[in-house]
Structure 1
Amino acid sequence: MPLVTLTILKFAPGDRYRAFANMGRWLMKPFDEVGLRFQKMMGTGKNFGFIPDFSQYVFLGVWQDEASANAFFTSERWQPFLPKDTHGISTLYLQPFKSHGLWDGVNPFTPDKALPPPDPAAPVAVLTRANIRPGALLDFYRNIPQARQRIADQGDNLLLAMGVGEKPLVQQCTISVWKNAALVDQFAYRQSGHREIVKKTRDSKWYSEELFARFSVLRMEGEISLRFKV
């Protein structure tokens, strides 16, 4: 069964130079692993914004099966990328059930149609990713404070929220975990503020490429905070 993993790597102040160097190392030579179908090493933004947080990075992997993921995460190839403090490592294990759009020209999260529908009462992870057109950068970032406030207003409905990205400013991604699918729908389609921002992105054609995906949360490992402070 295909599997998506999202690993959050939190580094202590004295370890941040090595973390930044690891990002460059991965860019020059991504992992070449059996069963690894798609991968991204990404930086994060402070307070769900665009100012880089050099203490925190995210590795996203799409795997042929869980055995492939487990073999990699216990391998010597992965160990140099980890914080010295193991409490800074957290991983979400996810199963996509809805995905549309493209990431680097492909949809890496195509759901397995043979799987049963997700439990409507179970937590749901949401990933959005976009290439922002250069001419739309100013408008996009003017709307960041409003979007950040909408996220903060969700309270306990939202278990985790992060702003991440591949390239500063122009390739952005958000990751969130919600208590259930109904809360995601309410935020995405019925809550004022967010609807208007989504409409604006369509009307103004902010993005040259975008992707939206939802996942069942199979499990969480490590020290993931159940409420990411925004």
Structure 2
Amino acid sequence: MDVLSEKKQPVVTFTILRYSLRYRYRAFANMGRWIWQPFQTKGLGFQKLMGSGKSFGLIPDFSTYVFLAVWDTPEAARQFFTSAAWSQYVTGTTETGTLWLQPLRSHGSWDGSDPFPKGQPIAAQDAAKPILVLTRATIRTGALLDFWRYVPQARAHLKKHDSALLFAIGVGEKPVVQQCTISIWNDPKVIEQFAYRQSGHKEIVQRTRTKRWYKEELFARFVVIDSEGFFANILDQTKQKIFTETN
């Protein structure tokens, strides 16, 4: 964590937790426990514990969960990740990994507001580091069938960029209606091409507007400033390819 030692400004963390078969019921119960009683710890602001879906689809993946959080300082996050409260959620995992993120920009709302700190330009020492892209939406009831009909097509377009895509996962707070996609890329130019210019995906984005799929939506980008665990080598360009995976 040397890169974070001098930083006092807010930081965002993204943590993945993968559980063994024996502990999957406990992991699911933890999700329910968190819904009723989110973490209470100094320096923690916005937080979301989310389940995942297989291949970005409707079938839940009970082995994998993610925890997204906004912290006043990196030190507040460090203290929490070594606490007894967090250790209860880590019990039974086969692997975990955390990314430490600096917001670049975001727009839209999540639970009524933009939860992320104001974006900052990428520092010179971080210019070559991967970019995490987050999209989150609450889908209108009347648009659910149309939305889910296009998910396989969107996933197929995403996989066409395996050379630049390091990791991707579909998660959500509530099954079917609240969805979040998180992807990590090693080339910002490819992100722009995929999001706004690639034939097929560009039309899906346009459809979200014309058909008014979303009741609420948010888009955000972050630079990965540090990593650990499952993501330990994601900043090493010679080893990045091991993370090319779409859940």
TM-score interval w.r.t. the shorter chain? over 0.9
Q: Partner of 1:78: helix, strand, or coil?
A: helix
Gaps of 5+ in 1: none
Say which of 109, 112, 131 aligns to 1:105: 112
Q: Which residue of 2 aligns with 1:48?
A: 56
Matching residue of 1:202:
209
Assess, with a 3 A threshold, how the Cα gap between structure 1 residues 95 and 155 changes in structure 2: closer, same or farther. Answer: same
2: CA distance, partners of 1:35 / 1:223: 25
Aligned equivalents of 1:144, 1:210: Cα separation in 2: 16
Residues 48 and 161 of structure 1 are in contact (CA less than 8 Å); yes or no, is this contact kept in structure 2? Answer: no
The answer to whether the 8 A contact 2:103-2:222 is kept is yes
Instruction: Report the alpha carbon displacement of residue 118 of structure 1 after superposing the two structures with TM.
Output: 8.4
* CA gap 1:145/1:127 in 2 versus in 1, 3 angstroms: same
Tell me how far apart the structure 1 counterparts of residues 111 and 125 of structure 2 sit (CA, whole Å): 27
Q: Which residue of 2 aligns with 1:189?
A: 196
The superposition leaves residues 26-82 of structure 1 with CA deviations (integer Å, 9 ceiling, x where unpaired) of 001000111111000000010122211000001111001100000100011111011
TM-score (norm 1): 0.95
Equivalent residue for 1:32, pick from 37, 40, 43: 40
Aligned to 2:136: 129
Structure 2, gaps ≥5 residues long: 1-8, 232-241
Conservation of the 8 A alpha-carbon contact between 1:128 and 1:174? yes
Letter in 2 for 1:227: T
Question: Does 1:146 pair with 2:160?
Answer: no
Query: What is the TM-score when the length of structure 2 is the normalising length?
Result: 0.88
Q: Please give the per-residue CA displacement for 1:163-186, whole angstroms capped at 9, x wherever unaligned.
A: 000000000000000012111111
Partner of 2:90: 82
Supply the distance in 1 between the matched residues of 2:74 and 2:117 (Cα, whole angstroms). 16
Q: 1:211 and 2:218 equivalent?
A: yes
What is the match of residue 5 of structure 1? 13
Which residue of 1 is the match for residue 28 of structure 2? 20
Corresponding residue for 1:174?
Answer: 181
CA distance in 2 between counterparts of 1:50 and 1:84 reads 25
Paired-residue identity, %? 54
Structure 1 distance, partners of 2:64, 2:16, is 7
How many pairs are equivalent?
229
The letter for the 2-side match of 1:221 is: E
Cα deviation, residue 211, structure 1: 0.1
Q: Check if 1:227 corresponds to 2:235.
A: no
Give 1:113 deviation, angstroms. 4.5
**Aligned-residue offset at 1:109:** 1.4
Instruction: Return 112-121 or 219-228, whichever deviates more.
Output: 112-121
Moved more, 22-31 or 45-54: 45-54
Q: Which residue of 1 aligns with 2:6?
A: none
Q: Deviations over 1:176-200 (max 9, x none)?
A: 0001211111111111111100000
Separation in structure 2 between the aligned mates of residue 89 and residue 157 of structure 1, nearest angstrom: 23
In 1: Cα distance, 2:17 partner to 2:219 partner:
23
- Do 1:118 and 1:216's aligned partners in 2 also have CA atoms closer than 8 Å? no
Task: Report the RMSD for the aligned CA atoms in angstroms.
Answer: 1.6
